[in-house]
Amino acid sequence: MDKKLSNPLALAVLAQLKERPMHPYEIAFQMRTRGLEQSIKLNYGSLYSVIETLQRDEYIVVRETQRDGRRPERTVYAITDKGAAVFLDWLRTILAKPVNDFPQLAAGLSFVGHLSPDEMISLCVERIHALTNMMGELQYVLDAMEERGLNRLFSIEEEYQLAQRQNELDWMNRLVKDITEGDLTTMRDSVRVWTALLHGDISPRSDDLPSQGERDKTKEDKQQDQAWRNGRPSHHVSLEDSDVILVRQGAENDEHDD
C-alpha cells in the first residue's frame, strides 16, 4: 500500500469513484446518504484537498466538466487503474491488520491520577449515560435498516460501532465498581495510593510506589480505607429495555479492626 495514504476520506473517495465517475458534490452527497460520515469525517474543505492529492498522485483523473444552467462548472473525476489497485490494497490492509488508532479515551486514562476518585466516578457515570444514548441511536438505525429489508452488508459498520460501544460500556461499569470498592489496582491500599498520586507524594510507575512490605496497611490505614468505602455507594449502569438504570447500592459496613 502507498505509505502516503492514511486519510480515511481518501479511501471513501476512491470507493465512490470505483463505482462510477462523480463530481465532488455527488461524492459528498453519496457519503451522507449512506451514513458514511458517521465513521469518516467529512467536510468540503478536506474533500477538495483529498481530491487534489489523489489527482496529483494519478489515482484519479478528470473525466469531464459539466454545467447546469447558471451554476458553476462541476468537474467529474474517474478512478485510474493505479487508483483502483491502491484502493483494494489499502482496504485489505485495513481489514487484516490491527493498528493503534491512539484513541482519546486511552490518553485520558493515562492521567486519571490527577483527578480524585470521586470526580473520576462522576465522569465515568456521565460517559456511561452518553454511551447508552449513542447505543440507542445506533440500534434505532439498525432496526430501521432491517425493517426496510436492506442487506446486512450495508449495516456492518453500525454493528461494529454498536459492539464497540457495548464493550466500552461494560468496561466502564467494571471500572466504576473497581474504583468504588477500592480495587482499581492489585494493591490492597489502592485508594491511599491514588490519593498519594493526586497530591504528588509518589510518582506513577516509578520506584516511589510502595513495596510489597509497605502495602501491609496499619490499623489507621485500614480504618481510613474502610471509611472511604462506607461513605460512598457503588455505581453500576446497565441497559434494560433501552432505558438507563443507575443502580446505587450502598456498600456493606465491614467491622473495623480492634
Residue 119 grid cell:
470526580
For residue 243, pLDDT over 80 is answered with: no
Buried b / exposed e over 147-165, threshold 16 CB at 10 Å, is eeeeeeeebeebeebbeeb
pLDDT at 150: 87
Residue 194 grid cell:
491514588
Q: How far apart are CA 128 and CA 251, in angstroms?
A: 21
Single-letter amino acid, residue 142: L
pLDDT at 253: 41
pLDDT tens-digit readout, 172-225: 999 999 888 866 655 445 666 777 777 776 665 555 455 555 555 544 555 555
Following CA atoms 172, 109, 131, 125 in sequence, which dihedral angle do they give, to the nearest 10 degrees? Answer: 60
For residue 242, pLDDT over 60 is answered with: no
pLDDT at 214: 53
Domains of the chain: which residue ranges?
Answer: 8-96, 104-249
CA of 204: how far to CAs of 130, 155, 197, 221, 243, in Å? Answer: 29, 43, 7, 20, 38
Q: Give 181: exposed, middle or buried? Use CB within 10 Å, 0-12, 13-18, 19+.
A: middle
Q: How far apart are CA 106 and CA 102, in angstroms?
A: 7
* Whether the Cβ atoms of residue 120 and residue 179 lie closer than 8 Å to each other: yes
- What backbone torsions phi and psi does residue 233 show, to the nearest 5 degrees? -75, 155
pLDDT tens-digit readout, 44-101: 899 999 999 999 999 999 999 987 767 778 999 999 999 999 999 999 999 999 988 8
Q: How far apart are CA 217 and CA 118, in angstroms?
A: 22
Buried b / exposed e over 55-93, threshold 16 CB at 10 Å, is bebebbeebeeeeeeeeeeeebbebbeebeebbeebeee
pLDDT tens-digit readout, 63-74: 999 877 677 789
pLDDT at 255: 43
pLDDT, average across residues 223-251: 45
For residue 3, pLDDT over 90 is answered with: no
pLDDT tens-digit readout, 125-168: 999 999 999 999 999 989 998 999 989 888 899 999 999 999 99
- What pTM was computed for the model? 0.67
Residue 127 grid cell:
460517559
Q: How far apart are CA 39 and CA 33, in angstroms?
A: 13
Q: Hey, which CATH number is domain 8-96, 1.10.260.40, 1.10.10.10, 1.10.3720.10, 3.40.50.1370?
A: 1.10.10.10
For residue 256, pLDDT over 80 is answered with: no
Largest Cα separation within the chain, whole Å, is 90
Residue 206 grid cell:
516509578
